Amino acid sequence: MKKYLKFAGAVAFVFALVAFILLMATVGVYSKSGSLRVDFDGIVVLFGKTESTILGNAKTELAWTGLIAWILNIVAMLILCAGVVLPLLKVKALDKFAGVLNLVAVIALVAGGILLFFSAPAFAGANGVDGDNLKYYHLAAGWVVSGILAIVGGAVAILPAVVDFLGKKK
C-alpha cells in the first residue's frame, strides 16, 4: 500500500484536471420549467456573457461560487505539480514544504468542490431570479461530477499524510 502513496499527488492532479475540463466543457447550470429547458455553458456560468441583439445587449452574470471554485482548482493543480516536483529535487528542506503545499492543495480542492454545488442558486440570483423561481435552476451533471472529483482529489492528496500520521501512532 505504501509504495502506491508516492503517486497520490499525481492521481489528485489527474482528478483536479478532469474536474477542470468538466467545468469548462460541459453545461454548468440549466433552467427547466415544464418542457422548456435552457442550458448555460460552463464558460457562461464561470465568466458571464454579453450578447448584442436587436433589442439591445443581453447580459448574463457569472456565478461567483463557480468562479472561485475554478480559481481554487487551478491553484490546487499548480500546487500539486509543485508537490510532485519538489521531492524529486532531493533537498531535505523542501520535503516539509511539499507537505504544506499538499495540505493547501487539499483545502483548495475540497473547498472548490463544495462551492460548485452552490453555483446554480448563485447563478440564478446573480441574474435576477427571485425566490419563487429558484426551483427551476439546477446544477448540470458535468458540474456535479466535477465537484465530486475535486473533493475525491482532495481526499487522495491527503492520503500520504494520514497514513504517515497513523503509522507514527504505533
Say if 168 falls within a structural domain.
Answer: no
Per-residue pLDDT at 160: 81
CA distance 32 to 42: 17
Find, among 15, 31, 33, 42, the residue nearest to 143 by Cα: 42
End-to-end CA, the chain: 17
Say if 169 falls within a structural domain.
Answer: no
108 vs 100, more confident? 108
CATH number at residue 61: 1.20.140.150
CB count within 10 Å of CB 103 equals 15
For 80, the domain range is 2-163
The model carries a pTM of 0.86
Say if 133 falls within a structural domain.
Answer: yes
> Where do we find the cell 489528485?
12
The total domain count for the chain is: 1
Percent of the chain having pLDDT more than 70? 95
Say if 148 falls within a structural domain.
Answer: yes
Question: Mean pLDDT, to the nearest integer, of 46-62?
Answer: 82
**Would you say residue 108 has pLDDT above 90?**
yes
pLDDT band at 86 (very low <50, low <70, confident <90, very high): confident
Say if 170 falls within a structural domain.
Answer: no
Is the CB of residue 16 less than 8 Å from the CB of residue 80?
yes
| Amino acid identity at 64 | W
User: Residue 39 corresponds to which cell in the numbers above?
Assistant: 442550458
Find, among 124, 83, 121, 118, the residue nearest to 104 by Cα: 83
Say if 117 falls within a structural domain.
Answer: yes
Per-residue pLDDT at 141: 93
